[in-house]
Chains A and B, each alone.
Chain A
Amino acid sequence: NAGVTQTPKFQVLKTGQSMTLQCAQDMNHNSMYWYRQDPGMGLRLIYYSASEGTTDKGEVPNGYNVSRLNKREFSLRLESAAPSQTSVYFCASSKYSGPYEQYFGPGTRLTVT
């Protein structure tokens, strides 16, 4: 039982490049989330998927797109990376959206130069 897994762990991009961050969970959870964490800013929600087939914007969605590929997988895409997107990205999942414990993946450290 791996919980929430994320790939890659580290990535360096040049400005304008694109990439996709992958996230998968094996807990049969319905809801999945993408957060970014910057020093002193806490965790900020980028996008979430309350259930398979639905996605919604969070606090900071600009510059990102998401795909809920199936119940297990939720990917985050940066179409044209910018230095402002340098951050640590966390994926999380929960049984349902709402007042349920969220389980976080180990994070992806992204640097955009």
Chain B
Amino acid sequence: QQPVQSPQAVILREGEDAVINCSSSKALYSVHWYRQKHGEAPVFLMILLKGGEQKGHDKISASFNEKKQQSSLYLTASQLSYSGTYFCGTGTNQAGTALIFGKGTTLSVSS
């Protein structure tokens, strides 16, 4: 089943903060975050692994609660360039051969 993302949409002014959540009904091994700008391909942000390891961009912050099968992406001091749709993808085993993506959260940042 697709993970559930919340909220569906966020509107911010530059400098404001936002949190995007991703929740799964299955036990997770990994959570992946991607950002997609309108008309473009998704771009990798980070991966969070069971056990605490994280791989990704230094300026992006996220958490992974393994017990609750939840992850949150923290966007602080937002910039115009943060606008886009954010997707979480969840992997349920170490091979993780089949990521299941959520429906996305659309973030709009204005000046």
- Using a CB–CB cutoff of 8 Å, the interface residues on chain A facing chain B are 31, 35, 40-45, 48, 50, 56, 58-59, 90, 97-107
1/0 contact string of B19-33 vs chain A (CB within 8 Å): 000000000011010
Sample of 21 A–B contacts (CB below 8 Å): A35-B101, A41-B103, A42-B87, A42-B102, A42-B103, A43-B87, A43-B89, A50-B97, A56-B97, A90-B42, A97-B96, A98-B30, A98-B94, A99-B30, A99-B32, A99-B47, A100-B47, A102-B34, A102-B99, A104-B41, A107-B41
Do A104 and B30 form a contact, CB below 8 Å, given A42-B103, A98-B96? no
* Number of chain B residues whose Cβ lies closer than 8 Å to a Cβ of chain A: 27
Interchain CB contact under 8 A, A42 and B104 = yes
Main secondary structure of the interface of A (DSSP, over half): loop
Contacts beyond the supplied A40-B103, A105-B41: 16 A-B pairs with Cβ under 8 Å: A31-B97, A35-B101, A42-B2, A43-B89, A45-B98, A45-B99, A45-B100, A58-B98, A59-B98, A98-B94, A99-B55, A99-B94, A102-B99, A104-B41, A106-B40, A107-B41
| B55-111, CB < 8 A from A | 55, 87, 89, 91, 94-104
Given contacts A42-B2, A42-B102, contact A101 B42 (CB under 8 A): no
Alpha-carbon distance A47/B107, docked complex (angstroms): 29
The answer to whether A56 and B49 touch (CB under 8 A), given A98-B91, A107-B41, is no
Query: Which 3 pairs of residues, A with B, have the shortest CB-CB distance?
Result: A104-B41, A98-B96, A42-B103
CA distance A58 to B42 in the complex (A): 19
- Contact of A48 with B91 at beta-carbon distance under 8 Å, contacts A103-B44, A104-B41 already known: no
Shortest distance in angstroms between A84's beta carbon and chain B's nearest beta carbon?
18
